[in-house]
Amino acid sequence: MKNVISFLLAVYLTSTSVMGQSKAKSNIDCNTIFVCIKQEDYTTLFKNSFVKDTLFFCKENTTKTTTDAYSGKYFMGEFATLEFLQPSKNNKFGDHLNDIGIEFKSRKIGLLDSIKNINAKVEIEKVYLESDAKKHLWYDALKLKENKTNLEFSILEYSAEELKMLGFTDDEIKKTISPTDFNTIAYGNHKYPRKFKSIKSVTLEVNEIGLNYLKQLASNFDFSFNKNYIQCIDFRIYYKVKKKNDKTVLKTIEINLTESLPKKNINITSNIKLLVSNKTAQIEFL
């Protein structure tokens, strides 16, 4: 009888964990891809007129938290952002050449705690913005505890304080907030002025350590792990195994556009190329 009870308990805990992970998967969206690139590429990112005036809303910004200060250049879209950093001596993640981040955003406050409560392999980092000697909780970030790669996957969740500053009411904060609802509340009915809509996929080259990290992501966040890609709702991570690589390499970022555009082939920098075709565009890192 004891063994039967133990078995039933194990089944219950496993099913609870799976249901919790599935609920999480349906309440997150790919929000940001960031990568640390060479200084010469960073300098010339905004030079092309089509890139900055048609495709992306471009902005350079400096952010100061209680643990870090960094500057980045941003390709801002209707529902997602591409963030470019340059090497820095701060020695934080994102400061080293080829550091890569994939960030999802939670649609509902409390989601990260619900994941952490059923998964001992993840942890939550609290990030505070600092300005004029004042600070407030900006967001929580859920990550795997163990990571020996230059790729970091995280799920971000804005704090109630941050959402109130963006114009959300107490009742709205309690609800599930889709990307469309978020934009409507935070930015009003202003139409997005460029063509970058959302992030469709990335392509990575990984060694054995990097491949193991991808498998851990799929396992812990209930993503579908396949021979050449990982699927999370409408976002896909393609990967190619390169055993001789010393780190993970970002090869492409594929984005969705708000409307169909004529084919274009643009050298954004000497090491970054842009290919536009119909309702998608691809950024290639050479």
**Rounded Cα distance, 103 and 28, in Å:** 10
pLDDT in the model for residue 2? 38
Asked if 84 and 45 touch (Cβ cutoff 8 Å), the reply is: yes
φ, ψ for residue 30, nearest 5 deg: -65, 120
Say if residue 176's pLDDT is above 70: yes
Q: Is the pLDDT of residue 12 over 60?
A: no
CA-to-CA separations, 237 to 55, 254, 257, in angstroms, rounded: 23, 10, 19
pLDDT at position 132 is 80
Tell me: the pLDDT tens digits for 188-242? 988 999 999 999 999 999 999 999 999 999 999 999 999 999 999 899 999 999 9
Q: What is the pLDDT of residues 109-153, one digit of tens each?
A: 999 999 999 999 999 999 999 988 789 999 999 999 999 999 999
Nearest to 214 by CA among 286, 152, 284, 264: 152
